[in-house]
């Protein structure tokens, strides 16, 4: 799990930096310039405006902070353009001053970004991939549907959207359903918890339903969850969902001839603080002739998984960045090996990272997409 520094200190530092950037830019607002000779009003009114924004952004995971961060980002970008335009001087500087309007443009751009981000968050997509393998498959094919990072509650997904989700999954006619973590979190209400467990129970798939926990499913960060681990295990067992934590199973499709498929699920890296079974321990014999579907909430140790015998790795966790520039920062610091989409790890192993079937914290997404992932695996003849 994240330590206290990451959970609480870093967000507060971020809030402080955002406040500083906003205050300095507020001083340039056009309506303040006539007050330049009155220091109390000139410096005090931006402080009042900033105080109002700080109050709205007081929740480290709230939409107010996300809005303030977007405004800060637009202002920072505008400041860079201002410096460049000022250096070029002449017509460039005059045009930019007219367009920028002392920073008023930043507010309009932020409103557009928030509306676009809300629409992007609530729009549920279906993303399809096709991969091939030389290993035998039941009937020569396998369709896997992945749901990841639902986070029902304050985000883009809750019980009211179950009919849409149910219809979309049913239309794909999957052989196997995999839930790759953060299906629930500390914001999930009891109503949402029970409703989604009931949904999982209604799906009857020939290859079964499989779940690997994420970093939110069984822990609380900011709130105590509305369910216990025992209740999660009980509801999933009743729904026919198999929980995999550093475990492997063989599955067959009863209506098809052919070899079985191995499905391997890992314990979450944050849950174990990295102290979990290594891929080579999960499959000590190494690659063999059985197609191996590898589930890991976080896209980590992908090459080790491929070397151990994984053929298709499905992960989530990243949300595709969700709020820019989170994904960029994660890539720069190599926190996640893949931020989003498909990546060929070895000639025989492909990894797919979902952008999440929901969003976390708020209905806002400026990066990635809210999606159901469908992977068609075909056997090379």
SS3 38: coil
Do 364 and 223 share a structural domain?
A: yes
Ordered per-residue pLDDT tens for the chain, 381 residues:
455 565 566 667 777 888 899 999 999 999 998 998 899 999 999 999 999 998 888 876 677 888 888 899 999 999 999 999 999 988 999 999 999 999 999 999 999 999 999 999 999 999 999 999 999 999 999 999 999 999 998 889 999 999 999 999 999 999 999 999 999 998 899 999 999 999 999 999 999 999 999 998 987 666 788 999 999 999 999 999 999 999 999 998 988 888 899 999 999 998 888 889 999 999 988 889 999 999 999 999 999 999 999 999 999 999 998 987 776 666 666 677 889 999 999 999 999 999 999 998 889 998 899 999 999 999 987
Tell which residue, 294, 181, 208, has the closest CA to residue 246. Answer: 294
Residue 158, Cβ neighbours under 10 Å: how many? Answer: 20
Greatest Cα-to-Cα distance within the chain, rounded to the nearest angstrom: 85
Question: What would the two tokens of residue 147 be?
Answer: 């749901």
Find out whether 64 and 58 touch, Cβ atoms under 8 Å.
yes
pLDDT (tens digit per residue) in 300-348: 999 999 999 999 999 999 999 898 777 666 666 667 788 999 999 999 9
Do 115 and 101 share a structural domain?
A: yes
Do 130 and 76 share a structural domain?
A: no
Enter the DSSP assignment of 144: E
Do 175 and 83 share a structural domain?
A: no
Residue 251, Cβ neighbours under 10 Å: how many? Answer: 18
Question: What would the two tokens of residue 371 be?
Answer: 């999606």
Domain CATH number, residue 267: 3.60.21.10
Q: Look at the alpha carbons of 88, 94, 99, 102 in this order and tell me if their dihedral is positive or negative.
A: positive
Do 282 and 166 share a structural domain?
A: yes
102 is in which domain, residue-wise? 4-120
CA distances from 84 to 23, 93, 105, 259 (A): 21, 9, 17, 63
Find out whether 283 and 308 touch, Cβ atoms under 8 Å.
yes
Q: What is the DSSP string of 123-186?
A: -EEEEEEEEEESS--GGGEEEEEEE----TTTSS--GGGHHHHHHHHHHH--SEEEE-S-SS-T
Pick the last residue of a domain from 120, 146, 174: 120
Do 196 and 60 share a structural domain?
A: no
Do 131 and 115 share a structural domain?
A: no
Count: domains in the chain: 2
Do 232 and 283 share a structural domain?
A: yes
Do 115 and 135 share a structural domain?
A: no
Pick the last residue of a domain from 87, 120, 153: 120
Do 156 and 95 share a structural domain?
A: no
The pLDDT value given to residue 274: 84
Pick the last residue of a domain from 98, 120, 142: 120
Do 207 and 91 share a structural domain?
A: no
Do 216 and 80 share a structural domain?
A: no
Question: What would the two tokens of residue 370 be?
Answer: 């809210």
């Amino acid at each position: 799990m994240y330590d206290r520094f990451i959970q609480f200190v870093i967000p507060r530092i971020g809030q402080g930096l955002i406040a500083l950037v906003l205050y300095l830019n507020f001083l340039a607002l056009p309506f303040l310039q006539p007050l330049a000779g009155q220091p109390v009003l000139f410096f005090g009114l931006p402080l009042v405006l900033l105080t109002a924004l700080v109050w709205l952004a007081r929740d480290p995971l709230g939409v107010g902070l996300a809005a303030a961060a977007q405004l800060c980002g637009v202002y920072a970008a505008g400041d860079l353009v201002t410096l460049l335009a000022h250096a070029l001087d002449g017509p460039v500087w005059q045009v930019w001053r007219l367009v920028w309007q002392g920073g008023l443009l930043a507010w309009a751009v932020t409103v557009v970004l928030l509306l676009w981000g809300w629409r992007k968050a609530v729009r549920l997509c279906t993303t399809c991939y096709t991969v091939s393998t030389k290993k035998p498959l039941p009937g020569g094919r396998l369709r896997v549907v992945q749901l990841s990072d639902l986070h029902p509650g304050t985000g883009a997904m809750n019980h009211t959207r179950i009919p849409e989700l149910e219809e979309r999954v049913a239309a794909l006619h999957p052989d196997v359903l995999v839930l790759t973590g953060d299906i629930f979190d500390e914001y999930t209400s009891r109503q949402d918890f029970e409703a989604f467990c009931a949904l999982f129970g209604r799906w009857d798939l020939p290859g079964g339903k499989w779940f690997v926990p994420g970093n939110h499913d069984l822990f609380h960060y900011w709130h105590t969850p509305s369910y216990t681990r025992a209740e999660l295990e009980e509801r999933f067992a009743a729904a026919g969902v198999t929980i995999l934590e550093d475990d492997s199973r063989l599955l067959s499709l009863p209506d098809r001839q052919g070899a079985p498929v191995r499905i391997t699920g890992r314990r979450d890296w944050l849950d174990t603080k990295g102290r979990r079974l290594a891929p080579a321990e999960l499959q000590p014999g190494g690659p063999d002739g059985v197609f191996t579907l590898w589930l890991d909430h976080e896209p980590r140790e992908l090459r080790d998984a491929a070397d151990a015998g994984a053929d298709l790795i499905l992960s989530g966790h990243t949300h595709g960045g969700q709020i820019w520039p989170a994904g960029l920062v994660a890539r720069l610091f190599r926190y996640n090996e893949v931020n989003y989409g498909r990546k060929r790890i070895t000639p025989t192993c492909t990894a797919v990272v979902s952008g999440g079937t929901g969003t976390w914290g708020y209905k806002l997404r400026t990066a990635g997409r809210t999606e159901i992932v469908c992977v068609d695996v075909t056997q090379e003849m």
